[in-house]
Amino acid sequence: MTRSATLVRRVALPLLVALAAATLGGSAAGASTGRASAEGRSGSPRPTGAVAVGGLHTCALGSDGTAVCWGSNADGQLGDGTTEQHLTPVPVSGVTDAVAIAAGRFHTCALRSSGTVECWGSNADGQVGDGTTE
């Protein structure tokens, strides 16, 4: 890994954690990069630290199993039921028991506490796993 890649990783991860904390209710004041800091909302779930980065979108998990995503949404990869871009995190519809999250270039998947996997977004090559390519 190059020195510049290491620097980007050191700056980007705390920024992502700060953004997720602000959305999910944690305090990420200690994760400030100098460019952003966040204070969480009371009563909201704390982030677990699980962050998934796709091609043009990012998602994070809350400690209560909720998931939020932000960024490009042309293929529905944010999971909010729209194809509108969101510059701030939006909740993933119907996912309240996620234990892990992963993002592909234009799709996202969550492992649920039941052991099932739910995916959303682009399905051009069957990546959503519903038996279709629609």
What are the tens digits of pLDDT across the range 120-134?
999 999 999 999 998
For residues 112 and 126, is the Cβ–Cβ distance under 8 A?
no
**Closest to 89 (Cα-Cα) out of 66, 120, 109:** 66
The secondary structure of residue 30, as a DSSP letter, is: G
- pTM greater than 0.75: no
Q: Indicate the domain borders of the chain.
A: 3-121
Q: What is the enclosing helix (H) or strand (E) of 126?
A: none
Summarize pLDDT for 10-27 with one digit per residue, the tens: 444 444 444 444 444 443
pLDDT score, position 46: 64
Q: Which residue has the tokens 């592909």?
A: 104
Q: Which residue has the tokens 């051009």?
A: 124
For the cut 50, the answer to whether the pLDDT of residue 65 exceeds it is yes
Q: Which residue has the tokens 């979108």?
A: 57
